[in-house]
Amino acid sequence: MGFEPMTERGPSVAVFFKCTSPRLPAAVVSRIPRLLASDAADQLTLIRSCVARGKAQAASLTVAGRGGPYAEIVRAVGAVVLGSRAVSEEPSQFPRVARLDADRLIERLAVETGLRLDLESHSTGGQVGAAYVRWPDGHRSVLTWQPGVSLRRARETARNVEFARAVGVPAPRYELVADLDDEVAVVQELLPGSSPKGVDVRLVEEMLAVDRRLYGVLAGTDIAAVPLYLTESGPGFCLHEPLQAYSARSRRLLEWVHEVGRTVPPTMSGDDLVHPDFHPDNVLVTDDGVLSAVVDWDGAARGDARFGIVNMRFFGPPGRLAPEVVRRIDAAIDEALTPDEMRPYWAALSLRLVDWSIRHSTPADTEGWLDLAESRIS
């Protein structure tokens, strides 16, 4: 993402980035505060340093007042900026994921590609955000944003969605994938339907049927497998450090996640197409509650589509699902997976939701996710 240098003193800005070098030396990481602190009036806090043990470790800086061209400097030492946000008070230890700024993205699309989309409204759902836009010819679409993702990876997701569509899954066609240097703008087909007002057993059955359609559809392809992030942090999600810092209970969960990670490969096995965030918030339904679309395919890749069944159990906030729905999903997990097959998926989703809750939600929600995670620890 391109950022303008701050030219006046003002609120602090948290800058989130990830290391891109295979093993970024700690000496390079230590240079970042000094490079940014060109103005003696600036106060920089290195909230969390890059740990040079993996390929994509997240980190953040807080720049108080005039920070200079920090995005360019961060990139110069081998990192990609993921996002930024204003910080009005003492920053939390771990950064939140930045949300879509639709007005800015539409303007940047116009400058970079010549395409002028009209913003109609913002979507109320999703963790990162989406917006409804209108093309010059009048048809409506959905604008989404992928910071820190390569054009190749975004195009691969678009290709994977076509595999889903080919087997009858109602998934949105990618109408545009635009490379904006350090972020990718995606314009997707607007499919009919709306977010479900509730989740019943019928919707669960329809989602299970959709998931089964994804079995084996990537056989014979060279598409990358889904990473599990059980032994190192993911790129902005599935972070390990929040669990290590939050509480003794979250540390015990992280120890179990690491234990599971040492027994399985770092990526999924299988030739299925995996929707990595398959839950009721990512489906649309008709007025009478029939599933009409599956959306938010970011990160779709090769692996074991039964992961989607486990993912349905991690639909929150905790306690949101009715008891009969929980029983049906639990039965589907037990029917489809042995305990050994289920364990790495449960670990990956426990890590994802507890980490996300620590950084974005309330302590009560975090305790609820810990309750769910611990219910199948073995």
Q: Does residue 90 have a pLDDT over 50?
A: no
We find that the CATH architecture of domain 12-87 is 2-Layer Sandwich (3.30)
Which pLDDT does position 127 carry in this prediction? Answer: 65
pLDDT tens figures, 171-190: 999 999 999 887 899 999 99
Overall average pLDDT of the 135-148 stretch: 92
**Domain boundaries, given as residue ranges, for the chain:** 12-87, 102-189, 201-374
Helix residue ranges per DSSP H, the chain: 26-36, 70-76, 102-113, 151-166, 201-213, 241-246, 248-261, 307-313, 323-336, 339-360, 363-374
Percentage of the chain modeled with pLDDT above 70: 74
Q: Which CATH class is domain 201-374?
A: alpha beta
Q: Does residue 65 have a pLDDT over 70?
A: no
Q: Which CATH class is domain 102-189?
A: alpha beta
Overall average pLDDT of the 210-222 stretch: 97
Integer Rg of the chain from CA? 21
Q: Does residue 82 have a pLDDT over 90?
A: no
Phi, psi of 274 (to 5 degrees): -105, 120
Place of tokens 């200079």: 68
Overall average pLDDT of the 56-77 stretch: 40
pLDDT tens figures, 273-304: 999 999 999 999 999 999 999 999 999 999 99
Q: Does residue 364 have a pLDDT over 80?
A: yes
Report the candidate in 278, 294, 238, 281 with the shortest Cα–Cα distance to residue 261: 238
Q: Does residue 332 have a pLDDT over 50?
A: yes
Residue 7, classified by CB atoms within 10 Å of its CB into exposed (0-12), middle (13-18) or buried (19+), is exposed
Q: Please, are residues 293 and 260 in contact by the beta-carbon 8 Å criterion?
A: no
Which pLDDT does position 125 carry in this prediction? Answer: 65
CA distance 54 to 4: 30
Which pLDDT does position 182 carry in this prediction? Answer: 79
- What's the whole-model pTM score? 0.75
